[in-house]
Structures are given as C-alpha cells and as structure tokens.
Structure 1
Amino acid sequence: MALLVNAVTTLVTSTEGDSSFHGPSIAEFFPPAIFFAGTPFEINRIILIRFILAAVLILLFWLGTRNMKLVPSKGQSLAEMALDVVRVNIAEDLLGKKDGKRFLPLLTAIFFTVLAMNIPGIFPGFNVAGSSLVGLPLTLAVVAYVTFIYAGLKKHPGAFLKNSFFPPGVPWPIYFIVTPIEFFSIFILRPITLALRLLMNMVAGHLLLVLCFSATSFFLFETDGAWKAFSLGTFAFGFIFSGFEILVAVLQAYVFTLLTTVYIQLALAEEH
C-alpha cells in the first residue's frame, strides 16, 4: 500500500493536472535540491539517501562488533555471518588466505556499500537506489581500478605493466594488434563496465517499478468501468518485480565485489 501511495504521488506530480498516463522519465534521477542549493555541497534526495544508508550501515556494524566475545551475541553472530559472505566466498576463495586477508577490508566495504545503496530502490519513501546516479558507481569502480593496479605494481614492480601491454609468448608483429586491445581492455574497459553494469541495473529497476505502480494508480483512479481491473495486474507485476529487484540488488553487490577480486587476482598472478 505504501508503494501504491508513492506511485500515486509520482503520477500526480508528473501529470501536473493532466489525467492521461505519463510513464517514468530520466528526470527522476535528478531531483531538486533540498539543502545548499546552488553550491558545490548541494544535497538532493538521492544524496540524502546515500547519507542515511551510510549512517545505517556504520551503525549496524558498530552495534554488531562493539563488544566482541568468544561466545558471540546474536548481533555479533549476524555481523560475523555477513562478513563471512565476503571472506569465505570471495576473498579467500579467489585470493587465498594471505592475500584474501590483506584485501578483505576493502572488498567487504565495497560489497556492503553497493548492497546498502541498491536496496532503497524498493523502500517506500526512498523509491530510488543510491547507486542510480553515476557518481557512486564510478567512484567505486575507480577504487577497484586503483587497487588492482596497486596490487600488480607492488607484487611485480618490474613486470606488471610490461606483461599487461606485451603478453609473453606472442610473436612481436602481433603486438601491434594485441597491445592496444590489452590497454583498452585492462585500463579503460574494466572500470567503465564495472560502473555501467551497476548503474544500468539500478536505473532499469527503478524505471520498471515506477512504470508498474504508476500504471496501477492510473487504472485505479483515472479510468472507469472494467479498465480498473487492469490495476490488479500492474500492481501484481510491480510486487513481483519488487522481489526481483531485491535479488538484483544483492547480485550486483556480489558481482561488483567478485569482479574486483578477480582483477586483483589477475594482477597478482605469477604470469606477471
């Protein structure tokens, strides 16, 4: 019901008195300023959502880890289970115990930041993911980019860049083709695809949910007779897609962290 009320509000705002149906637009990702309008510190609804979710994330982990005991409390157990998702299934599985432990804080921060910023897209009152503007996905992609380059240069200071541009075992005339491809793939395409994959999934999910619930409000309040029955179908689709969006939010956090780990693993590989 709360989602329906929010959809009604969206529809009324977008129609501006017009009773015809108006679908979602890209303008929804650029809401008006709430605080400090016209300054470099301008805060709109999406930025505010990011602040709120960051505070919630910090608070949850602080509560779960502030009083660590050998026999864990319920809060500590939940925190440890959450951390083990990254430690066991991603970090140590791909990097081994030594390097996994070394990069675990960063990978954990990336996973739970992406997850926390994705989830608000299905919450009434928020209705948009904090990762639905390119700034956050791009920042996380740059962090991953700098990390795997740092890892490669530290592990193989003399060979990382050389072997990245000139893979061993390739006949030298082929380097005229291979080297530009390797440069574009490793140093340009990786961060771009990391950012765009996350961004596009969140944008598409938001637009789909707004479309379903806006259509529900339109059929329910703006049409007559049998047309109102279509609101049941659009609401059902919206409800189903809300559950699917939760799955996508978790999956994107996992994929972003997994790919970051794979890039680090490739940079640390002995082939360099």
Structure 2
Amino acid sequence: MSVTASIAASVQAADDSGFHAPGPGSFELPPVFGDVTKPMILVVLSAIIVVGFTWAASRKAAVVPSRLQFAGEFFYGFVRNGIARESIGSEHFMKFVPWLFSLFMFLLVNNYYGVIPFIQFPTMARIGYVIPLALLSWVIFIAAGIWAHKGPLKYLKHQTMPAGVSGPILILLVPLEFLSNIIVRPVTLTLRLFGNMFAGHILLILFATGGAALLTSGNIGYGAVGIVSFLLGIAISFLEMLVMFLQAYVFTLLSAMYVGEAIAQEH
C-alpha cells in the first residue's frame, strides 16, 4: 500500500469513528455564561496576570533580586534594550517602553494559553483581538511621526517622498510609499500574528483529535498511527511554544521599528 493510500485509509477510519476535521468552527466557542465566551475571559485574565506579575516583581525591589524580581527585570530589560533602544534610538526610546513592554507581555500570555492544559486556546487566534492591537500600534507610530515632524503634512512628506528623489517618478512613488508605510502596516501586523496562532492551533487540534479517533477505531494498525499522531502533536507543541514567543517578539519589534522610522529625520 502506498503512503498516500495509507494516509487516506487512516483519514477514512477516523471519519468512520466520528472524527470531524478542525476548521474555523473550532474557534467558535459557546458562551460560558450569558454572552461571555472563553476568549473574553482569557483576555481579561491576561491583563490581570500581566499587571499582577509586574506589581509583584517590582514591589520589593532590592539590590540582590528575588527570583520574581529577576524575571521581571529580565523581560523588562529584554524589551527596553533589545527592542525599544535598538529600534527607536537612544534619544526617544524611553517614551515608548511602557507601551512596548505591556504589548509584549500581553501577547506572550495570550499566545501561551494555547499550550496550557485545560485552557488550550490562544486568544490571538481570533482576529478580532489582534486588529485592535495592530490599530493601536498604528495610531501610536502615526502620532509619534506627527509629533516628531511637527505636523501631519511634514510627516506625510517624510513617509512618502524619499530624500533625493524628484521629478515625474514621484507620481508613481508617492502612492506606493503611502500604501506601504501608512496603510499596509497594520494589515501585515494583524495577519502575521493571527495567521500563525490560527494555523498552529489548528495543527494541535488535528493531531490530538485525529489521534484519539484512530486509537478508538478498533483497528490495531490505525491505533499505531494514532500513537504516532499523538507523538507528532507533542513535538509540534514544543515547536508551537517557540512560535508563540517569536510572534509576540516580532509584533512588538515591528511596532517599535515603525515608531523608529516615523520619528527618524531621514527617510
């Protein structure tokens, strides 16, 4: 039997045992109470976790830090020095550290919900939670650019007219720069984070539910495939943990880079 035929037979066996392939419907969770859903609760809980963690890590700051203080200082220093200072510059970066640190920690908690037992739902896999964060980053870097260049018109000129370029080529260049630097950025921020969290969660559901369906199919051969499916699911979970961190980092890094480009005096 070919590999393709084996896979097809396994899928058929899973279907026969009541397996339904995961899809967008897997993210439409029923309300927990009233109109309140699980993702709503998780988003509020993540804000409480971030505030509670930062408060607990800083309330008894000492020269010799406790483990909690060390963890808080590590994350803060990572965002402050590794993201904000490097992307925005040493002159103005501190103005944006509170936003960037809050953003990174908030995304980190919400992403890692996807691998926490009994929660297992990354809230950023729902695009409705990603769009406001992307729009807020957009508003912040637009406002920073207007502030740095002392007015919206000067900022638009900075973003759409590269230095040293003149003549008819601007007719083509200005709209492209406007789309690239103003319009498209929040869209790419949204799609990158949402797409990775959505796809990763779909994979985890597929290997977990598919493996369970194969194990309960009553066929020894399919049961063996089910065990392999579970093992692959565990391996993908570890990979997904790395992706979750990277997506929080990339979203925060790009937000900082957009601020840095907006307030730069040269385009």
TM-score (norm 2): 0.89
Choose the corresponding residue for 1:112, options 81, 105, 108. 105
Q: Deviations over 1:205-235 (max 9, x none)?
A: 0000000011110111123222211112101
Letter in 2 for 1:28: S
Mean Cα displacement is larger for which, 158-167 or 250-259? 158-167
Choose the corresponding residue for 2:255, options 248, 256, 260. 260
Report how far residue 59 of structure 1 moved: 1.5
Residues 68-79 of structure 1: pairs in structure 2 closer than 5 A: 68-79=61-72
Structure 2 unaligned blocks of 5 or more? 1-14
SS in 2 for 1:20: coil
Report the counterpart of residue 46 of structure 1 in structure 2: 39
Report the counterpart of residue 9 of structure 1 in structure 2: none
- Contact (CA 8 Å) 2:126, 2:194: kept in 1 or not? yes
SS in 2 for 1:127: coil
Report how far residue 91 of structure 1 moved: 1.0
Report how far residue 147 of structure 1 moved: 1.0
Choose the corresponding residue for 2:191, options 193, 196, 205. 196
Report the counterpart of residue 3 of structure 1 in structure 2: none
SS in 1 for 2:50: helix
Report how far residue 20 of structure 1 moved: 3.4
Aligned residues: 251
Choose the corresponding residue for 1:29, options 18, 24, 27. 27
- Work out the CA distance in 1 between the residues paired with 2:63 and 2:117: 39
Matched, 1:88 2:86: no
Report the counterpart of residue 124 of structure 1 in structure 2: 117
SS in 2 for 1:210: helix
Report the counterpart of residue 154 of structure 1 in structure 2: 147
Report the counterpart of residue 223 of structure 1 in structure 2: 218
- Contact (CA 8 Å) 2:17, 2:216: kept in 1 or not? no
Choose the corresponding residue for 1:245, options 240, 244, 247. 240
Matched, 1:183 2:178: yes
SS in 2 for 1:205: helix
Matched, 1:168 2:163: yes
Letter in 1 for 2:129: L
Letter in 2 for 1:49: L
- Work out the CA distance in 1 between the residues paired with 2:217 and 2:45: 35
- Work out the CA distance in 2 between the residues paired with 1:95 and 1:58: 25
Report how far residue 47 of structure 1 moved: 1.3
The 1:223–1:157 alpha-carbon spacing in structure 2 relative to 1, beyond 3 Å, is farther
SS in 2 for 1:172: coil
Mean Cα displacement is larger for which, 27-36 or 134-143? 27-36
Identity of aligned residues (%): 35
Q: Deviations over 1:78-113 (max 9, x none)?
A: 111111110111111222333221111111011111
Report the counterpart of residue 10 of structure 1 in structure 2: none
Report the counterpart of residue 19 of structure 1 in structure 2: 17
Report the counterpart of residue 270 of structure 1 in structure 2: 265
The 1:155–1:145 alpha-carbon spacing in structure 2 relative to 1, beyond 3 Å, is same
Report the counterpart of residue 7 of structure 1 in structure 2: none
Report the counterpart of residue 232 of structure 1 in structure 2: 227
Report the counterpart of residue 66 of structure 1 in structure 2: 59
